[in-house]
Structure 1
Amino acid sequence: MQYEWAEDDFDLPAGLSRLGHDEPVSGRKYVMYHGTTRQNAEAILTSGFRQSADGMLGRGVYLSRDLKKASCYPIGHPESDRAVIKVSVDVGKVIAINRQNHPYQKTWHDLGYDTAWVPPNCGMVRSGLEEDCVWDPDRIQIINIINPRPAHAYGYK
């Protein structure tokens, strides 16, 4: 079965910016997305986000301003059991990590940055889509959970 990922609402809360391919501006708030399983989405809704132990950018909460990218996670998991958490993020101080083996790839937070941003098509992410890592989960506010819908729900076959 084919699924579609669509947002239930296109209105942005006051003070938030939507996806762009430009570097996030320090001190602004953005809509971002986190892909996970439906069960994990409910747990995050109840308990909040927690830092990952490690990853491409070290510890933090991995998000994207691109719904398409977030809807692919967890990779290898059935799409029908995936969910995307739509959030508002106060990015704080942002650093661009724009290549593999960047000198601050895993130490950016030690230098006073709150968010690390991987630009699209820089060779760090296989999909070519942008990625963000937010150090402090308290910078993230959950807006809602987006679940996939069968494609026919939108009139497609």
Structure 2
Amino acid sequence: MQYNWAEDDFEMLPGVGRLGHSAPDDNGNYDMYHGTTRAIAHSILATGFRQSSDGMLGCGVYLSRDLQKASRYPIDHPVHDKVVIKVVVNVGKVIAINHQYHPQRKTWHDYGFDTAWVPPNCGMVKSGLEEDCVWDPSRITISKIINPKPVQTYGARGYM
């Protein structure tokens, strides 16, 4: 079965930005997405986000302003058990980490940054899609859960 990821509504709160190819503005509020399993989503709803212990950008909460990127996670997990958590993030001070050997790739928070942003098509992410890492989970407000929607396919049938 095929699935499609889409939001039921495209209403945004006043002052909240959407996906763009440019860096998030310092102290801006943005809609972002976090892909996970249904069980982990229930845990996050109950207790909030927690920092990962490590990752491409070090510790933090990994998000994207791109719903399609978030919908891929967890990678190699059955789609019917995936959900995407839509959030609003106040990004604080943002640094662009735009190559693998960036000197602050995993230490950006030590330099006073609240969010690390990986630009699209910079060679850091295999998909070529943007990614964000937010150091402090208290900057994240959960908006809703987005479930995958089965896509109806219609095949042609031949008659003899």
The TM-score with structure 2 as length reference comes to 0.95
Amino acid of the structure 1 residue aligned with 2:40: N
Structure 1 residue 8 displacement after superposition? 1.5
- Match of 1:45, SS? helix
Q: Give 1:93's aligned residue.
A: 93
Q: Give 2:128's aligned residue.
A: 128
Which structure 1 residue ranges, 5 or more long, are not aligned? none
Write the mapping of 1:6-155 to structure 2, written as runs, cut at 5 A.
Answer: 6-152=6-152
- Match of 2:39, SS? helix
Count of paired positions: 154
Structure 1 residue 101 displacement after superposition? 1.3
Structure 1 residue 42 displacement after superposition? 1.1
Q: Give 2:5's aligned residue.
A: 5
Q: Which moved more, 1:5-14 or 1:82-91?
A: 5-14
Which structure 2 residue ranges, 5 or more long, are not aligned? 155-160
Deviations 1:95-148 (A, max 9, x none): 000000100000000000000000000000000000000000000000000000
Q: Give 2:158's aligned residue.
A: none
CA distance in 1, matches of 2:7, 2:21: 19
Q: Which moved more, 1:39-48 or 1:116-125?
A: 39-48
- Match of 1:133, SS? strand
CA distance in 1, matches of 2:137, 2:33: 13
Deviations 1:19-67 (A, max 9, x none): 1111100010000000000111111011100000000000000000000
Deviations 1:60-91 (A, max 9, x none): 00000000000000000001110000000000
Q: Give the % identical residues.
A: 69
CA distance in 1, matches of 2:19, 2:35: 16
Runs of 4+ in 1 over 3 A off after TM superposition: none
Say which one has the larger Rg. Answer: 2
- Match of 2:86, SS? strand
